[in-house]
Amino acid sequence: MDELHDRVERGYDAIAERYADHTRANRGPETYFRSFLDRVVARIPRGGRVLDLGCGAGLISSELLRTADVVALDRSAGQLSLARVNAPRALLVRADMAEAAFRPASFDAVVAFWTLIHVQRDRHASVLSSVRSWLRPGGVFAGTFGTSDSPEDLVEDFFGAPMSWSHFDAETTRRLLDEAGFHVEQADEVFDEGEWALWVVATA
């Protein structure tokens, strides 16, 4: 396994509850995230099937469950223990998203909020290709990416634990989405919750 991915797993195991509390406190109705997520949920067919890639504490999965069946994937056992409480009807899968495998055309939507930024960036192209294959024709992929060119950012104290990020600049990510076969509807750099992110909506 990549050292970066190991560090991310250990970090989120250590900070799971603290980070969940922070998330709840900072994703209110006034945030761009809230309006973005509402638009994404409106695109999901009622009774459809959604993959939450990097589900964390299951807070987004719990909202997706109002409309669809949810497969919630994360590598952190600590995070999944919270997801079991917050999204009890979701099917939980413990796996590294860079190595996960699902049947082709098995999801109506895939979401990945603040998660692919924790995957070693030289694996982003293969993850996007996999996501594209997992979506049914016309299925929606939505989530956030980094906006700067960073092979790895390492912070020794992220809510009390070491943490790593790895991502490309926005232009490169847009190109990777195109190369994976997505039709990109939105790929905008937006400042929200105190940070810049590339907010993406794309269809298969």
CATH number for position 149: 3.40.50.150
CA 118/CA 164 separation, integer angstroms: 6
N- to C-terminal Cα separation, the chain: 29
Question: pLDDT of 20-54, one tens digit each?
Answer: 999 999 999 999 999 999 999 999 999 999 999 99
pTM above 0.85, yes or no: yes
Taking CA 144 as the corner, what is the angle to CA 84 and CA 49, rounded to the nearest 5 degrees?
50
Spans of the chain below 50 pLDDT: none
Beta bridge partner(s), residue 165:
153
What is the pLDDT at residue 117? Answer: 98
DSSP string across 41-80: HHHSPTT-EEEEET-TTSHHHHHHTTTSEEEEEES-HHHH
CA 149/CA 187 separation, integer angstroms: 16
Cβ atoms within 10 Å of 123's Cβ, excluding its own: 18
Residue type, 151: P
Dihedral angle sign, alpha carbons of residues 87, 90, 95, 96: negative
Domain limits at 91?
3-203
Tally the domains of the chain: 1
CA 66/CA 41 separation, integer angstroms: 9
Residue type, 144: T
Q: Burial level of 2, CB count in 10 A (0-12/13-18/19+)?
A: middle
